[in-house]
Amino acid sequence: MCFPRTFPAALVTDVARRLDRGGADELWIIEDCFFTAGPSLVSAALTSTERLTVGLGIAPAVARTAAITAMEFATLDALGPGRFLPGIGHGVQSWMEQMGVRPKSPLTTLEEVTTTVTRLLAGEEVSFEGKTVYLKDVKLDAPPVTPPPILLGVMGPKSMALAGRVAGGVVLAEPATPAYVRQSVEYAGSPDGFVVAVFAAMCVRDDRKTAYEWTAPWLGWRIGDNHPGVTALPFFDEMKKLFDDSGVEGLVGMPTDWWTEIGAIGTLEDAAAHIDALEAAGVHHIGLFPDPEVEHGLPQLDYVLELAKR
């Protein structure tokens, strides 16, 4: 399950414990400016559980220096050895500008940060002088025994290719459809051992129409935004025409198999079918992303636990 940025921080330990006790595999913490801080929530989730893997999706590359990012990741790995998955991304550039850290070249910056953080986590002493990253004789006192793979939270073809060159994998934002997964891995060059984590849109209800009605406005926004998760769909042109002609109501009436391709949306069986399709596409880690409003999103945790039992 994902822990949306809008959930109160104090909920994270209860959510993590329920997932841990209920047999779910993972909790993904969402860090967006200027909401809750990711590493703090990851720490709380790791220290309150025994077996749960906790992912960070994602730390903006320039929000912290490369050395501090490596320190954070090494510390979190020490709190839950083998249970932490770190993600780094460009960050929303308007947010980076608000903080005065917007880089001239986000792609170059992400490459420098990923490369140097990877080396630091491997226990190297690093000196580096790049366009954004500067390090002089920096070495972590306690690097991880087994460094976790750094996953890049990126979208575009150039960034995917970068992930394939310098990172351990990717984190794909919702809607991470199976078609989008396959496209992204292809852009990355399909390297050996490449880890794919995704956030899957989740809305489980007793009947499909209710779930579709709840989710359709969000899907319309993603269509209008040309999110690659939907543009990669083989039926995107038909879906967009339907939305252009009939709006949200048109989306509600889409075929069930379209909805199942888009997310864990509909009945519990539909959600299970979406998870199966993601795994068949080569996904290793799935974070089911509930409604961001606590009163609607938190009850989805019960369905996550039901799915975990299958």
List all residues 6 or more positions away from 176 whose beta carbon is below 8 Å from its beta carbon: 198, 199, 200, 229, 278, 283
pLDDT in tens, 148-179: 999 999 999 999 999 999 999 999 999 999 99
Distance between CA 23 and CA 248 in Å, rounded? Answer: 36
81 upstream amide cis, omega within 30 of 0: no
Mean pLDDT, residues 206-211 taken together:
96
pLDDT band of residue 133 (cuts 50, 70, 90) is very high
The residue extents of the domains of the chain are 2-208+264-308
**Among 222, 287, 306, CA closest to 54:** 287
**Among 4, 73, 8, 18, CA closest to 308:** 18
User: For position 204, what pLDDT does the model report?
Assistant: 97
Predicted structure pTM score: 0.95
What DSSP assignment string belongs to 121-134? HTT--EEEE-SS-E
pLDDT band of residue 310 (cuts 50, 70, 90) is confident
pLDDT in tens, 24-39: 999 999 999 999 999 9
**Angle (deg, nearest 10), helices 106-121 and 157-166:** 20
Classified as helix, coil or strand, 6 is coil
Q: How many Cα atoms are found within 13 Å in the side-chain-facing hemisphere of 10?
A: 0
Mean pLDDT of the chain: 96
Residue with tokens 């995917």: 160
Q: Which fold has domain 2-208+264-308?
A: TIM Barrel (3.20.20)
pLDDT in tens, 106-130: 999 999 999 999 999 999 999 999 9
Mean pLDDT, residues 64-77 taken together:
97
- Phi and psi of 282, rounded to 5°? 105, 15
- Of the chain, the percentage scoring pLDDT greater than 90 comes to 97
pLDDT in tens, 253-269: 999 999 999 999 999 99
- Of the chain, the percentage scoring pLDDT greater than 70 comes to 100
pLDDT band of residue 214 (cuts 50, 70, 90) is very high
Q: Is it the case that residue 56 has pLDDT exceeding 90?
A: yes
